[in-house]
Amino acid sequence: MKTDTKSTVLLKHHLKALRLPTVLAECEKVAKQCADDNVDHLGFLLNLLELELIERDRKASERRLKAARFPAPKTLDEFDFAARPSVNKPQLLDLVRGDYLTKRENVLLVGPSGTGKTHLATALGMAACAQGKRVRFWRVTELMTTLREAEQERQLLRLRSQLTKLDLLILDELGYVPASKAGAELLFDVIATAYERTSVVLTTNLGFEHWTEVLGNERLTGAALDRLTHRCTIIETTGESYRLQDAKRRRKAAS
Ligand code: ADP
Ligand code: MG
């Protein structure tokens, strides 16, 4: 049977109503291809639905990446492990597989500025997005400000409930700016809520012994550290800043 124009119009209407945009866009092309290749009806249907699924996955992954708000895309492939011997490559390759997320475990990246902490945290986050996880990247100062604003606008519950829906919370740059008392308390609260529910990847330039200096309250800092480190992998990025290394290498190559 040859499909007439009226049937085609109706078909497109139904596909729209059923929200199958890829089937809608591709059905005529795939129908022709299948006819040429002698593919039967079920094969045709399979081809089309596969296209729809692939496109849905792609869109969902794009949405998750956007929602995560990474400052810049970074992957492990781009990470030069030779330049950072304190970072264990097999350990990172194991982490990006995401088992720590299923186990609600944490990752702490500790080291001086420019040593790749944000890079590695982002790479872990992007891998998690690709695995269908809900991720949100926050600079610690930005999160504290947002929490305080939410509190003033009586939106704190809403923001906190959004945070509890995450699979991975990335807290970047703890310790660069001393926290206000209110900010620190709100941050402690987020960390306490995430405990055993949401994985946290945290980056900091501070050794644990210095956390109290930045966060104030010794008791609360101790409690936060206790929760963060209970089930966690600690990665130390020691050595000189990558940018500095890079600049030196370039200078050497030029001379
Ligand atoms: P940190 O967060 O520790 O201050 P970043 O992750 O922001 O450091 O790194 C600074 C810059 O150097 C970024 O552009 C990052 O991609 C790059 N970088 C750092 N370490 C490496 C590395 N080992 N290989 C490749 N690029 C790196
Ligand atoms: Mg950083």
Q: What is the pLDDT of residue 2?
A: 60
pLDDT digits 0-9 by tens, 78-111:
999 999 999 999 999 999 999 999 999 999 999 9
Q: What is the pLDDT of residue 232?
A: 96
Q: What is the mean pLDDT of residues 31-49?
A: 97
Strand ranges across the sheet with 199-204: 135-139, 168-174, 199-204, 106-110, 232-236
74 lines ligand 1 (CB under 6 A): yes
Q: How far is the CA of 122 from the centre of ligand 1 (A)?
A: 10
Has residue 243 got a pLDDT over 90?
no
Q: What is the pLDDT of residue 91?
A: 98
Has residue 185 got a pLDDT over 60?
yes
Arithmetic mean of pLDDT over the chain: 94
- Atom in ligand 1 nearest the alpha carbon of residue 81: 23
Has residue 192 got a pLDDT over 80?
yes
- Nearest ligand to the CA of 114 is 1
Has residue 44 got a pLDDT over 80?
yes
79 lines ligand 1 (CB under 6 A): yes
Integer Cα distance of 102 and 190 in angstroms: 19
> With bands split at pLDDT 50, 70 and 90, how would you rate the model's confidence at 246?
confident
Q: What is the pLDDT of residue 3?
A: 66
Read off the pTM.
0.89
Q: What is the pLDDT of residue 102?
A: 97
Has residue 244 got a pLDDT over 70?
yes
Has residue 247 got a pLDDT over 90?
no
pLDDT digits 0-9 by tens, 155-179:
999 999 999 999 999 999 998 888 8
Q: Which comes out higher in pLDDT, residue 176 or 3?
A: 176
Q: Which comes out higher in pLDDT, residue 192 or 247?
A: 192
* Range of lowest pLDDT (2-6, 118-122, 142-146, 211-215): 2-6
Q: What is the pLDDT of residue 148?
A: 96
Q: What is the mean pLDDT of residues 18-44?
A: 97
Q: How far is the CA of 44 from the centre of ligand 1 (A)?
A: 48
Q: How far is the CA of 112 from the centre of ligand 2 (A)?
A: 9
